[in-house]
Structures are given as C-alpha cells and as structure tokens.
Amino acid sequence: MNTPQKVLVGIVACFALLQLIPSQYNQGTSPSSKHVSTLYPTSKTVEQILVRACNDCHSDSTVYPAYAAFQPLRWWIDEHVEEGTRHLNFDAFADYAPYRQFHKIEEVLETVAEGEMPLKSYTYMHEHARLNETQKKELRYWAEGILDSMKRQYPADSLVHPKRRHPGALSEKQQEKAASVFSPTADRVSKSCKPPLQHRAPVPVD
Ligand code: HEC
C-alpha cells in the first residue's frame, strides 16, 4: 500500500469507528400531557406550525433525517436537540414556573420576529420549516394571547424572575435569615436582636 492509500484506509477506519459511538434518540410523545397547548389555547394551525418548524429541537419528539444515521452529522443534530430542549421544551411547558413560561413566550415573539428561529442551518435543509408572513403572524397572535392571559391570571410579580422582583429588596437568603431571627420559635436568636437595655423589663426590687 502506498501512502495515499494508507491515509484513505485510515480515514475510512476512523469513520467506521465513529459510527459505533452510541447516541440516544429523542423520541417521546408529543404533544405530551404537559404540552403548552394543555395550558393555553392553541389552534390546529399553530400546532402544525410548531410541529413543522420547531418541534425537532423544542419537543420530546424529533423526526430524524436519513443522514442522522451517520456520525459526525448525528452529533451536530444531537447538539441542536439538546440545546434547543434545554432552553425551551414545549412538551415540558407545564413544569415551568409562571415567570419562566412568560419569559419563554416573550422569547418566541422576539426570535420569530427577528428571524432567528427556526435556525437558518435547519431551514436550509428543511424547506417546510421556513415560516411565511402568515405563519409568523399566527405564531405572534398565539404568543401575544398567552402573555395576555397570563397577565390576567397571575399577579404581576410572579411573572418576573425571582431575582428581579422588588429591586432593592432582601434576597431570598437574606429573607430566610431575617425570618429565622425574628420568628418566635427560632432558637438562634441573634444577640444583636435583643431589645436595647432601656426597653427591657425592670428588674424587680424586693
Ligand atoms: C434546528 C433546531 C431548532 C429549531 C428547528 C428551532 N429552534 Fe429554537 N432554539 C434552538 C437552539 C439550539 C436554541 C438555544 C440556543 C440559541 O438561543 O440559539 C434555541 C432557542 C430558542 C428560544 C430561546 C429560548 C431561551 O430561553 O433563550 C426560543 C424562544 C426558540 N428557540 C423558539 C423557537 C421557535 C418558536 C421555533 C419554531 C418556529 C424554533 N425555536 C425552532 C434550536 C432550534
């Protein structure tokens, strides 16, 4: 074997070995019992848009293209699915706290309006996922409807990230500390919290 042949055999062997690396498929049930449509009205049209343009990366069920059978293409797909579902999974939506649901829907409005979602690298390969203006509008009305209904349903504060509520107020840790110091059952009453001397009950004189 001459050198170019050896290099070729080496490359083929590497590809063959790569194929042995196991990877899992994201193939659960969608829509799940925690799907966004179980909480907020979602028309059939919007459901179809989500399925065609978003679900592969934002649901429990990815439809894999034929080339997903081959590494390293599969890694590339897995990374999108993993990152996408970690940021937003429509099938886990009911598990999100209200502020998180609210924020994710705000992001849907933003990313779709700006053409960031669905990802360009995806629509390049999946023509059916390209959103036309009507579909974008459908998504926008749906998302705005969810935001409105959440605003009616929840106190304004609960739709804000806990860290951003009441700017200037005590942090959660500080609140806990304060509660344990002032609670009558707290056994760790801090010295600094004893009432000042002049306010203590007078020592009885016999
Ligand atoms: C090919 C995979 C893919 C498709 C298809 C896709 N997304 Fe994404 N999406 C991602 C990835 C990866 C991220 C996280 C990284 C980023 O923000 O770029 C993301 C992030 C997001 C976020 C931001 C969430 C956050 O908290 O930052 C929103 C909202 C979103 N996508 C909505 C959509 C919508 C709506 C669709 C369909 C119209 C869609 N995406 C289609 C891969 C995808």
Print the domain residue range for 36: 24-163
Does residue 194 fall inside a structural domain?
Answer: no
Whole-prediction pTM: 0.80
Ligand 1 centroid–CA 23 distance in Å is 22
Least confident span in 96-105, 153-162, 194-203: 194-203
Does residue 149 fall inside a structural domain?
Answer: yes
| Residue 23 pLDDT level (bands cut at 50, 70, 90) | confident
Q: Across all residues in the chain, what is the average pLDDT?
A: 87
Is ligand 1 within 6 A of the CB of residue 57?
A: yes
Round to whole Å and give the CA distance between 95 and 98: 9
Question: pLDDT of 169-203, one tens digit each?
Answer: 666 676 677 666 655 554 454 445 555 555 556 66
Cα dist from 93 to 25, 60, 77, 101, whole Å: 20, 11, 22, 7
CA 23 to chain centre: 22
Q: Contact 102/67 with Cβ under 8 angstroms?
A: no
- The tally of domains found in the chain comes to 1
Is ligand 1 within 6 A of the CB of residue 102?
A: no
